[in-house]
Amino acid sequence: MKDRISFDQLLEEIKAQRHFWIRLGAVLIDDTWVIQIFDAVGGSQQQNWEKRSWEYPEAIFSSLSINGSKLAEAIREGIINSGEKRIKFPFSESLDKKQDNLIQTIEVWSKIPHGFYEPLDWPCVWYELPRTSDTTTKDYYQGIQHLVMSECPSFLNFKAAACSFFNLTKENNITELPTTIRLEGQIGRIDHVTVHPTRIVAKVERKVSTELVLELNGNRPGPSQLFKNKGKSEVIKLSIASGLPDDPFLILKDNKKIIDLRYLNPKLPYKTAPDVVVAVPTTSAIESLIATGESETVEFKEFIPTGKNERKKVCRILAAFANGQGGNLLFGVNDDGKPVGLKATDDKEKPVLEKINESKLKDQVADWIKSCITPYIKFDIEIARLEGNYDILLIKVKKGDSPPYGIPYNDEKDCKYDYCIRRMATTFTATPSDIREICLMQNK
């Protein structure tokens, strides 16, 4: 959209809005009340807006709600009424209100801070009205000190009162009090985004029944999904199995323009909305486990076992985790804690994922775990690529709720089981007293 619009174009935009929620702060200059700070939001009532008025001998703060036609008329005349007071807008007397390219406009996405005011729940167009260049009235508020009245809160100066009334940021960061109109978008928004290691879950809402598309983007195009249900909201899931692009962001768009946007990079907090949650990536979790080293709940294995006896040895460790507090087994990490990538015991040279895809590898590992340990343990399998292109497979075992868990000594129907426990970073065969303690702990 245009960076600037004419004064008359702005008034037409204001007229089209049903309601405006206004907050203003004004000072008394030579018997005339003059606005020093002003914010009008067209659209839904904001959470922090409430009808109230603070009146002091030299300053007034007021909130009011009027329709778009009345606000447009007030701005055209340069006067707005608050109760019995007529308050003047800080426009220059020589301002040519017919002049094109006069009012600056900025698109602001939902829930993303911009300027001093609190962010809006819906995308908006921000219009900053021009201020007078008359040094007599410009920044006159700086001379207003000690605002005290019996029925109003007290403040040391006008700026401190403005910060409280408008819910602004710390007053020391405010260099100039703005005069703004904010018009909420009437189409849709992105809401409550969660970034998981393999998918993005986002709630999309809209005010009108039109087809919208949610799209992941960044330094390369990502997946997208059409939002065409007649309802007003929908939860959309986008797969990111191949990872997030650099500098990722979500856009909600129609067939003409971007409606809303969410930055997904937590390293840019000034751009990231508070409803964006980035779950701990699998790579970060794995790197943390590797850095911790082997312990009672962490075990490294350099190769994925392919033989039956080799798999039984691994399952002893997993059963021991389930008999204890749970644990993590990482394939692709050697005994020194160095990532080496996924390779199998029957081919220690060629990476496993060059012969089989991730999904099939996970299924194969899950199958031999389930066939080897009795009763079934609860576990998750994740694969991640670390820096250096090292693929790591992580088996996360949960604490068992039906111990003890064991490995059969042979394939006979009534064979005995090898029950295992962990002590420090070593797996041991459990003694009868160990098994009894495991069962007793379960019953507590």
**Cα–Cα distance measured from residue 286 to residue 331, given in angstroms and rounded to the nearest whole number:** 11
| Residue 143 DSSP class | G
What letter represents residue 392's amino acid? I
Q: How far is CA 116 from CA 61, 235, 295, in A?
A: 17, 31, 50
Residue 135: its pLDDT value, please? 46
- Look at the block and give the residue holding tokens 């939001």: 41
Q: H helices within 275-346, ranges in order? A: 282-292, 308-323
**Cα–Cα distance measured from residue 140 to residue 151, given in angstroms and rounded to the nearest whole number:** 24
Instruction: Say if residues 329 and 320 touch (Cβ distance below 8 Å).
Output: no
**Cα–Cα distance measured from residue 366 to residue 228, given in angstroms and rounded to the nearest whole number:** 38
Residue 135: name the closest of 274, 250, 29, 207 by CA.
Answer: 29
Residue 229: its pLDDT value, please? 66
Q: Is the peptide bond before 305 cis (omega within 30 degrees of 0)?
A: no
Residue 181: its pLDDT value, please? 93
- Look at the block and give the residue holding tokens 């007397």: 93
**Cα–Cα distance measured from residue 51 to residue 23, given in angstroms and rounded to the nearest whole number:** 9
Residue 256: its pLDDT value, please? 84
Residue 200: name the closest of 219, 187, 217 by CA.
Answer: 217
Residue 185: its pLDDT value, please? 87
Beta sheet of 212-217, edge-to-edge order: 224-227, 212-217, 249-253, 258-263
Residue 405: its pLDDT value, please? 95
Residue 385: its pLDDT value, please? 85
Low-confidence spans in the chain with pLDDT less than 70: 1-2, 92-101, 131-141, 169-177, 229-231, 241-243, 266-271, 280-282, 412-414, 442-444
Q: How far is CA 119 from CA 3, 126, 158, 174, in A?
A: 20, 11, 23, 16
